Amino acid sequence: MGDNRWLKNSFVYLIILVAALALFFQYFGNPANPTDERGIAQIIADARAGRIEEIRAKAGDERIEVVYRGEPDQMVTSRLETNDSIMSLFAAYDVPLTTDEGPDVTVEPAPAWGGLLSAFTILLPTLLLIGFFFFFMRQAQGSNNQALSFGKSRARMFAGDKPTVTFSDVAGQEEAKQDLTEIVEFLKFPDKFAALGARIPRGVLMVGPPGTGKTLLSRAVAGEAGVPFFSISGSEFVEMFVGVGASRVRDLFDQAKRNAPCIIFIDE
């Protein structure tokens, strides 16, 4: 149960992270307030005609920013072809690169994390698919485990090495406590009674209206004897499907044998 909760929380965090990265790339990866986008052929023609004042580009980036003469507030963008650079294009088309005759071209170096960012952007869809695959696999595995554990006992076990309830915690019921003291002696010193030929009782039937302390007395017996205590409701053995009740009974007593000596308390 804890693993499933951790997995669901991790999946939510993954979605939040992907959304944050998408917003980051959208905000920082695009130019500020782009107003126009033109083809690279139009940019080259305008540069040869002397209408462009400045061109800004980044190494390894296909997008360039263009500022026209007399329009410093208007940003024009364009995209280069793959494996092309603005400098090689201007050289091929004889575009002057001096401030007086042509645009002022500024090429910024690629950031150190640019390669890692590009690789992460490429791998992100694959990682998301792998994450979805493992998520649904774990969900299917959890469903199979629930189906396989349908016939398992749902008894709660309280460790006997750390008793939390003893006869001193039970108010009144002196006669019942005196009768149950013999059960405690059987559980604590079975060899002594076996040497005399005595056999431990198979069970004790506690009768009384709700709230009279039947469960508390049972836990007190386990606490006094220092043995594990299994608690389960009788309704857990009701057969909603054929064989489920018998399977849970067998599983409960298998657990009790592995933790013997112990006490099984079946509530009404």
**What domain range includes position 226?**
153-267
Does residue 144 belong to any structural domain of this protein? no
Tell me, yes or no, whether 157 and 256 share the same domain.
Answer: yes
Does residue 170 belong to any structural domain of this protein? yes
pLDDT value of residue 139? 64
CA angle 146, 159, 256 (to 5 degrees): 60
pLDDT by residue, tens only, the chain of 268 residues: 445 555 556 666 676 676 666 656 655 555 445 457 788 788 888 888 878 878 887 776 677 888 888 777 777 877 776 656 777 777 776 777 665 666 777 777 766 555 566 666 677 677 777 877 777 777 665 554 544 454 555 556 666 555 578 888 888 778 888 888 888 888 888 888 788 888 877 888 888 888 888 888 888 888 888 888 888 877 776 766 666 777 778 888 888 888 878 888 888 7
pLDDT value of residue 47? 81
Buried b (16+ CB within 10 A) or exposed e, 214-230: bbebbbbbbbbbebbbb
pLDDT value of residue 128? 72
Of 108, 134, 168, the one marking the end of a domain is: 108
Q: Give the tens place of pLDDT for each residue, 234-250.
A: 777 676 666 677 777 88
Does residue 251 belong to any structural domain of this protein? yes
pLDDT value of residue 204? 84
Query: What CATH code is carried by the domain that includes residue 70?
Result: 3.30.720.210
Q: How far apart, in whole angstroms, are the C-alpha atoms of residue 122 and residue 33?
A: 26
Angle between helices 2-28 and 114-148 (to 10 degrees): 160
Closest CA to 75 of 47, 95, 50, 54: 54
Count how many domains the chain has.
Answer: 2
**Is the bond leading into 261 cis (omega within 30 degrees of zero)?**
yes
In this structure, how many other beta carbons lie within 10 angstroms of the beta carbon of residue 161? 7
Tell me, yes or no, whether 164 and 259 share the same domain.
Answer: yes
Asked whether the CA dihedral 30, 127, 116, 19 is positive or negative, the reply is: positive
Of 51, 79, 108, the one marking the end of a domain is: 108
Q: How far apart, in whole angstroms, are the C-alpha atoms of residue 120 and residue 230?
A: 53
pLDDT value of residue 237? 67
Does residue 1 belong to any structural domain of this protein? no
Residues 109, 115 contacting (CB under 8 angstroms): no
Question: Dihedral of the CA atoms 29, 31, 35, 36 (nearest 10)?
Answer: -80
Of 54, 79, 108, the one marking the end of a domain is: 108
pLDDT value of residue 112? 59
